[in-house]
């Protein structure tokens, strides 16, 4: 009987795929790589990876159990068309939904919502606080995601730093986490984690090696839970100079980081040996 494949749980946005605004992070035009669009919404291209990264991701999908792991809602995730085999598992809504062959596992979702009801302040309280304190001068959208968490789309240059700090303290006291990623501010319940969903997939697949990557505060638990993790040289974790015992902080930024992460995944899988 062959051993189980390695499980690769990777964040998507600003880790493997990039919007036009996040693509190069000051990359010179002369060094701009060839790109593949992997997300279109309302007839507009939204997200990309390099053609090299696309080839690496195809290889990874053939080598490991690749599990896209995202804070995106199911609907937002399903807009993405990644190269390689269709993943059997995907983690959406920061762990609130575990997709199996594209369909949310109802048992997993029920377990998650029961934990949220028992362990943290209700969504309605957090949503009301954001609506009462966020200034319309810099807020462009209020959004509720999957009835699990909330986020704001803001004008980043107008966003007061003190407001974000005050919100983080307020949320911490109610069992929630605040994460600032580009033009979005997320407020997410602490029991709603990518790591719990990754552990469930690992249990189902029987893997003995878990690998992970991510760039934001909402990925920290995932990186710490994996046997090995990587973070790019940009993003919320890099800005905080965050790391962990088995986490490698990469120097690459932008799409170059996406390529490096995929190479690191493949190297780790090769060292595991044949399956």
Residue 28: pLDDT over 90: no
pLDDT digits (tens, 9 = 90+) for 48-94: 999 999 999 999 999 999 999 999 999 999 999 999 999 999 999 99
DSSP secondary structure letters along 100-163: ETTEE-HHHHHHHHHHHHHHS--HHHHHHHHHHHS-TTTEEEEEEETTTEEEEEE-GGG--HHH
Beta pairing partners, 145: 149
Residue 29: pLDDT over 60: no
Contact 246, 229 (CB under 8 A): yes
What total of structural domains would you count in the chain?
2
Report the largest interatomic distance among the alpha carbons of the chain, rounded to a whole angstrom: 61
> Where residue 221 sits, what CATH number does that domain have?
3.40.50.1000
For position 1, what pLDDT does the model report? 41
pLDDT digits (tens, 9 = 90+) for 216-239: 999 999 999 999 999 999 999 999
List the structure tokens of 151: 């986020």
- Residue-range definition of the domain harbouring residue 221: 7-113+192-271
**Any long-range contacts for 29-36 (C-beta under 8 Å, 24+ apart)?**
33/255, 33/256, 35/255, 36/83
70 within a domain of the structure (yes/no)? yes
Query: Do 234 and 260 fall within a single domain?
Result: yes
Calculate what percentage of the chain has a pLDDT beyond 90: 89
Count of alpha carbons within 13 Å of 207, Cβ hemisphere only?
24
For position 4, what pLDDT does the model report? 83
66 within a domain of the structure (yes/no)? yes
For position 275, what pLDDT does the model report? 45
What is the overall mean pLDDT for the chain?
94
2 within a domain of the structure (yes/no)? no
Residue 27: pLDDT over 60: no
Residue 30: pLDDT over 70: no
Tell me the CA end-to-end span of the chain in Å, nearest whole number.
9
Query: Do 107 and 241 fall within a single domain?
Result: yes
**Reported confidence tier of residue 25, pLDDT bands at 50, 70, 90:** low
Count of alpha carbons within 13 Å of 43, Cβ hemisphere only?
0
Neighbours of 35 (CB within 10 A): 18
Residue 8: pLDDT over 80: yes
pLDDT digits (tens, 9 = 90+) for 141-193: 999 999 999 999 999 999 999 999 999 999 999 999 999 998 999 999 999 99
* Residue partners of 18: CB distance under 8 A and separation at least 6: 47, 48, 49, 254, 255, 258
pTM: 0.94
Tell me 67's DSSP state.
E
């Amino acid at each position: 009987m062959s051993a189980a494949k390695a499980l690769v749980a990777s964040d998507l946005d600003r880790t493997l795929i990039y919007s036009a605004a996040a693509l190069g992070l000051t990359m010179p035009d002369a060094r701009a790589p060839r790109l593949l669009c992997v997300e279109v919404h309302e007839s507009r291209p939204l997200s990309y990876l390099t053609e090299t990264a696309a080839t690496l991701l195809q290889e990874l999908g053939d080598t490991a159990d690749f599990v896209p792991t995202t804070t995106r809602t199911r609907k937002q995730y399903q807009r993405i068309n990644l190269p390689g085999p269709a993943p059997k598992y995907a983690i959406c809504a920061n762990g609130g939904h575990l997709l199996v062959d594209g369909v949310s596992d109802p048992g997993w979702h029920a377990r998650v919502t029961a934990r949220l009801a028992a362990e943290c302040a209700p969504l309605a309280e957090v949503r009301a606080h954001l609506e009462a304190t966020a200034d319309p001068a810099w807020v462009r959208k209020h959004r509720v995601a999957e009835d699990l968490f909330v986020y704001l789309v803001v004008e980043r240059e107008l966003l007061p730093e003190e407001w974000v700090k005050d919100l983080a303290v307020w949320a911490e006291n109610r069992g929630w986490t605040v994460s600032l990623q580009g033009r979005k501010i997320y407020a997410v319940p602490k029991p709603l984690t990518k790591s719990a969903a990754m552990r469930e997939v690992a249990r189902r697949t029987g893997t003995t090696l878990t690998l992970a990557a991510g760039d934001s505060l909402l990925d920290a638990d995932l990186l710490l839970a994996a046997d090995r993790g990587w973070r790019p040289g940009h993003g919320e974790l890099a800005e905080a100079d965050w790391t962990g015992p088995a986490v490698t902080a990469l120097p690459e930024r932008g799409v170059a980081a996406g390529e490096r992460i995929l190479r690191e995944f493949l190297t780790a899988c090769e060292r595991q040996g044949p399956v």
